[in-house]
Copies of this chain bind each other. A is one copy, B any other.
Amino acid sequence: MKIAPTSEKVDSAALGSEMHALIAELYPICRSITGNGLRETLKRLQQFVPLTMHEVPSGTRVFDWTVPPEWNIRDAYVKNSRGGRIIDFQRSNLHVVNYSVPVRQKMRLAELTTHLFTLPDHPDWIPYRTSYYKRNWGFCLTHKQLLKLPEDEYEVCIDSSLENGHLTYGEVYLPGETPDEILLSAHACHPSLANDNLSGVAVACFLARHISELPHRYSYRFLFIPGTIGAITWLALNEPTVPRIKHGLVLAGVGDAGPLSYKKSRQGDTEIDRVAAHVLRRLEPQSQILDFSPYGYDERQYCSPGFDLAVGRLSRTPHGTFPEYHTSADNLSFVSPQALHGSFTACVSILSTLEKNRTYRNTNPKCEPQLGERGLYRMMGGSAESSANEMAMLWVLNQSDGRHSLLDIAERAQLDFDSIYRAAQLLNEHGLLKEGTDRSVPGLSEERG
């Protein structure tokens, strides 16, 4: 019923390497928000988890949006007049502006450069550019290469197609004891970028495998979707399911060397917001809790005002704040097995705290129960020490009036959730607690601040 702490179940070094290997396997594939690259990526995840692939036809109306035509690309290059491929999609799929329309043309340098994108501040890196909703084409290259391009007649070829097809997404549903769900969502649409977001895909995938092997109270839903349009599509086609989502986490950029950061939900004080803050503070002192903002990843959709879900985001260095973001420098060496494993552990701790967080009533609420008689308390009085376990028990007994969850108690007591949880288990075994929120407690309606 509980997600066991990782340490007991998983060899951590091995797990980090396994996730990194998955990223390496997926890295070369040219993904986009639709098309075969995404399809192939999801297919490979099926070797780890029981992932269902969904295909939504182009043209499907999803709220204010329309599922776009499916994009596929076979080849692309720019050749100089001597026939040399000076920009070559085969070497890096970042060279082509993602969703470029097909093109086959000859042109002089002046015209060509209007379709070229570089990063003058990072002259060795190839930028990542997209043009999903405006028909356009282009090539990305290093600034160094751009500066060296001679006047010439160039042959431009993008062998792509933009046709009616499907938007593909993957879903892993793990039913638990209750239909209440925890959503984990990772965007899987970026081509050769490791941290953004093969890291999120890998951690979500191994998390799904981990949870599927253990009993769990909540039902879990993992989404591997194209960013923005994928979240919108899922929400539009699954509205009746949405109210079941009690907590959620977007996983994005969880493989770099930065400290963990949790971005709060729009509501800002939901259970997962508080759990994540509690867990991260203890796991990594330098971790950060960020306020919600409407810019970011798919939390933008989950936290739109019409849904307003309790969905936060776990990242390491937040997107857009590291120079490698959306460039060829976000490569396999930018993500590490250690960082991936640390993110995995943080997820497990957050989920396991959600699993274990309950509200109890002290069955003996008038005065303290006699703990010593039950072997729960030191018998020789007068000593100055009171063990941490005894303090945790006293806090749980004192606060368990049906109005304070174990997390509330841990926060007030300034103790680890797990020590409060263990105390509650012990008291529960001795019949001193009874699960259940009590809204009829006299005085409940009084404001006590």
Q: Which residues of A contact B (CB under 8 A)?
A: 62-65, 98, 127-134, 136, 228, 231-232, 235-236, 266-269, 293-295, 300-301, 303-308, 320, 325-326, 362, 364-370, 372-373, 379-384, 386, 391, 394-395, 397-401, 413, 443, 448-449
Q: What's the dominant secondary structure at chain A's contact region? A: loop
Q: Which of A131, A381, A391 is packed against the most chain B CB atoms within 10 Å? A: A381
CA distance A395 to B395 in the complex (A): 41
List 13 A-B residue pairs with CB atoms under 8 Å apart, sorted by A's residue number: A63-B367, A63-B369, A65-B370, A98-B382, A129-B381, A133-B370, A134-B379, A232-B367, A293-B413, A300-B398, A320-B384, A320-B386, A326-B383
Query: Given contacts A384-B325, A398-B294, are A306 and B379 in contact (CB under 8 A)?
Result: no
* CB-based contact B295/A367 at 8 Å: no
CA distance A295 to B386 in the complex (A): 9
CA distance A398 to B394 in the complex (A): 43
| Residues of B contacting A364 in the complex (Cβ-Cβ under 8 angstroms) | 63-64
Given contacts A293-B391, A301-B367, A308-B401, 4 further A-B contacts (CB under 8 A): A129-B383, A294-B394, A304-B365, A304-B368
Q: Tell me the minimal C-beta distance from A229 to chain B in angstroms.
A: 9
Residue on B nearest A372 in the bound complex, by CB: B133
| Residues of B contacting A395 in the complex (Cβ-Cβ under 8 angstroms) | 293-294
Q: Tell me the minimal C-beta distance from A271 to chain B in angstroms.
A: 12
* CB-based contact A400/B305 at 8 Å: yes
Q: Which of A133, A367, A383 is packed against the most chain B CB atoms within 10 Å? A: A367
* CB-based contact B305/A362 at 8 Å: yes
List the 4 shortest-distance A-B pairs measured between CB atoms, nearest first.
A306-B365, A306-B366, A294-B398, A294-B394
CA distance A65 to B364 in the complex (A): 11
| Residues of B contacting A413 in the complex (Cβ-Cβ under 8 angstroms) | 293
Query: Per a CB cutoff under 8 Å, which of B130, B303, B370, B397 touches A381?
Result: B130
CA distance A400 to B266 in the complex (A): 12
* CB-based contact A367/B129 at 8 Å: no
Q: Tell me the minimal C-beta distance from A71 to chain B in angstroms.
A: 13
| Residues of B contacting A443 in the complex (Cβ-Cβ under 8 angstroms) | 308
Query: Per a CB cutoff under 8 Å, which of B130, B295, B382 touches A129?
Result: B382
Residue on B nearest A65 in the bound complex, by CB: B370
Q: Tell me the minimal C-beta distance from A57 to chain B in angstroms.
A: 18
* CB-based contact B398/A268 at 8 Å: no
